[in-house]
Amino acid sequence: MGNAYIFDSHAHYDDKRFDDNRDETLAKMPENNVCGIINCGTDISTSEFSIGLAQKYPFVFAAIGYHPESVDDNTVFEKEKLIELADNKKVVAIGEIGLDYYWDTTFKANQIDFFKKQLELARELNLPVIIHDRDAHGDTLEIVKQYKPKGVLHCFSGSIEMAREIIKMGMYIGVGGVVTFKNSKKLTEIVKEIPLERILLETDAPYLSPEPYRGKTNNSAYIKFVAEKIAEIKNLTTDEVLSVTTKNVKTLFNI
Ligand code: NI
């Protein structure tokens, strides 16, 4: 790798898997060629934690919001609290928000309600959004078409047709460790077809480590394996992939 830098558009360094080595891991990022990280909240307390990390590390930025798995019948939408948190200069997005029907669909209506409320809030605050969509492609696409936000479909797992629609709306596709997995044929086709100018790189750390670290704790430095794979798929250099995708993150999140 040459002089191109990694910008991780999606990580969770608040996760308890980093409790023993969070500061050590983050302090090493600049020497690992990582120039930026967006840490995504999943509820109010992790959003506050993200802002804390962003205050401590100049290269960390924060996204704030309610993840669909944090939403049930008892979850209260604290709009004023989010507005207050968004006032911090290092808050660059509302996220991660969206729909997750993988585990169960008991709180589907609540998830949809929170997703829409947060898309409205993002519009009010003029912030981009970071969207989580797991096994909820139809509803996600329908709602996104309705609100037309600026933003990214993180860890994209939809079809090529859905990717085309997302790109047509000016949004981005988030690509991480999954693209390095042997069974990622569908994602490989998507990466091959869509322009690099529409792709953001991400870890979702501590989850989804790329090969050769699949199953281990992920961190932003491992994005180089994702960039190498995308370079191979698109017949580009790793540096080209890193420099364009880093520029994409800075453009979308106004960094
Ligand atoms: Ni995430």
pLDDT tens for each residue of 89-113:
999 999 999 999 998 899 999 999 9
Residue 188 above 80 pLDDT?
yes
Q: To the nearest whole number, what is the mean pLDDT of the chain? A: 97
pLDDT given at position 2: 58
* Mean pLDDT of all residues in 123-139: 98
Ligand 1 centroid to Cα of residue 96, in Å, is 7
* Mean pLDDT of all residues in 79-91: 98
Q: What is the pLDDT of residues 159-182, one digit of tens each?
A: 999 999 999 999 999 999 999 999
Residues with CB under 5 A from ligand 1 (ion): 204
Ligand 1 centroid to Cα of residue 10, in Å, is 6
CB-based burial label for 3 (10 Å; 0-12, 13-18, 19+): exposed
Ligand 1 centroid to Cα of residue 86, in Å, is 19
Cβ(129)–Cβ(122) below 8 Å: yes
Q: What is the pLDDT of residues 36-53, one digit of tens each?
A: 999 999 999 999 999 999
Residue 196 above 90 pLDDT?
yes
Ligand 1 centroid to Cα of residue 75, in Å, is 19
The proportion of the chain whose per-residue pLDDT surpasses 70, expressed as a percent, equals 99
Ligand 1 centroid to Cα of residue 183, in Å, is 21
Residue 1 above 80 pLDDT?
no
